[in-house]
């Protein structure tokens, strides 16, 4: 991703609407596979408009953000690392979208009808067609809007394969083991999951060295790309791990490159307004875990 391309994408207006809850949105008009569902009626409340980037002067805007009639919606929650990936990807591409905050304790009909298979977030709804699973959504955004903004995946086929490999690694190893560490019921379970999580973090630290030697600012190279967006969903969770699990994952001595990367990434225009607040996240996770423990 060439810096000027990213800079140009980020200088475009990125407006999205945020609803306090989806209670005000009635389901509909959505297709999942071949089935047709009911009509969508958006909130009667005036939408809150939030800009995530400073608009470029009109004369410097050369590309349309979305074709006329094109509409993107994201169903997410503020704390979801998976939903954050989707919002980051749209921001990097400079694509405007409507953001709908879901209540996972009371899933909206829109979510249930958009993702009847797993009933999970995030869902991207493009012109009333839902796409589910964060990594699938990222690839959809990159392919469907290839002509707009920078690409997330590299052009080279081998590099693309490697980026997908690391994205899968982040989910299957880092995220999966982090969750086990957070949910562990016994010291043995916790110690095992902690070891695995640290191993994943240290492996990712090594990935920030090109050819095992020179430092890369981003996993994508000089600019952020697919792997950056995938891992960035976990930045706040990694930062909160000390408070939640007593384990420092981002350590100036052991993982200096990853620590610097988290700071560099969180400062990007595409990221800074949508990264979750660390204190709120830790507070939320503590309450969640206490509830989980009570249920066991
Ligand atoms: N593999 C999925 C994971 C999505 C996921 O776990 N989403 C959570 C929120 S962080 C969810 O919707 N949970 C609701 C549930 O499990 O019922 C992805 O990458 O999109």
The segment(s) of the chain belonging to CATH 1.20.1050.10 are: 157-295
Q: Ligand 1, from 121, 138, 171: best to mutate by most atoms within 8 Å of Cβ?
A: 121
The neighbouring-strand residues paired with 18 are 48, 99
The pocket around ligand 1, CB under 6 angstroms, is made up of 80, 82, 104, 119-122, 133-135
- Closest C-alpha residue for ligand 1 atom 10: 80
Give the tens place of pLDDT for each residue, 81-128: 999 999 999 999 999 999 999 999 999 999 999 999 999 999 999 999
Query: Which residues does 159 contact at the CB level (< 8 Å), separation at least 6?
Result: none
**DSSP type of residue 54:** P
Kindly report the CATH class assigned to 3-144.
alpha beta
The segment(s) of the chain belonging to CATH 3.40.30.10 are: 3-144
User: Out of 3.40.50.300, 2.40.30.110, 1.10.287.610, 1.20.1050.10, which CATH number does the structure's domain 157-295 have?
Assistant: 1.20.1050.10
**DSSP type of residue 21:** -
pLDDT for 69: 76
Paired tokens of 151: 């690409």
| Pair 173, 198: CB distance under 8 Å | no
Please state the rounded mean pLDDT for residues 242-263: 96
Write phi, then psi, for 125 (nearest 5 degrees).
-110, 115
pLDDT for 243: 97
Give the tens place of pLDDT for each residue, 169-228: 999 999 999 999 999 999 999 999 999 999 999 999 999 997 777 899 999 999 999 999
**Side-chain-facing half-sphere of 188: CA atoms under 13 Å:** 0
pLDDT for 274: 97
pLDDT for 65: 65
10 has a pLDDT exceeding 60 = no
Alpha-carbon span 196 to 171, nearest angstrom: 13
- Closest C-alpha residue for ligand 1 atom 2: 133
């Amino acid at each position: 991703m060439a810096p000027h391309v990213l800079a140009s994408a980020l200088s475009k207006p990125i407006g999205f609407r945020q609803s306090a809850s989806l209670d005000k949105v009635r389901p509909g008009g959505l297709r999942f596979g071949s089935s047709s569902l009911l009509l969508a009626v958006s909130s009667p409340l005036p939408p809150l408009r939030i800009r995530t980037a400073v608009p470029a002067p009109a004369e410097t805007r050369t590309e349309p953000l979305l074709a006329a009639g094109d509409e993107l919606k994201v169903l997410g929650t503020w704390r979801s690392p998976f939903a954050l990936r989707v919002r980051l990807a749209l921001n990097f591409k400079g694509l405007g979208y409507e953001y709908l905050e879901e209540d996972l304790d009371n899933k909206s009909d829109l979510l249930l009808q958009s993702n009847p298979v797993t009933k999970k977030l995030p869902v991207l709804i493009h012109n009333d067609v839902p796409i589910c699973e964060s990594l699938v959504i990222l690839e959809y955004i990159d392919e469907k809007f290839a002509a707009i903004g920078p690409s997330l995946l590299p052009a080279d086929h081998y590099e693309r394969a490697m980026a997908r490999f690391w994205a899968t690694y982040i989910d299957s190893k880092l995220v999966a083991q982090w969750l086990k560490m957070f949910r562990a019921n016994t010291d043995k379970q916790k110690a095992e999951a902690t070891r695995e999580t640290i191993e994943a973090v240290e492996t990712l630290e090594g990935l920030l060295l090109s050819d095992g030697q020179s430092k890369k600012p981003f996993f994508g190279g000089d600019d952020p790309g697919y792997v950056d967006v995938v891992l960035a969903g976990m930045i706040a969770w990694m930062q909160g791990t000390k408070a939640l699990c007593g384990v420092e994952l981002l350590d100036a001595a052991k993982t200096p490159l990853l620590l610097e990367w988290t700071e560099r990434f969180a400062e990007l225009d595409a990221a800074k307004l949508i990264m979750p607040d660390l204190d709120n996240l830790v507070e939320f996770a503590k309450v969640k875990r206490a509830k989980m423990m009570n249920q066991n």
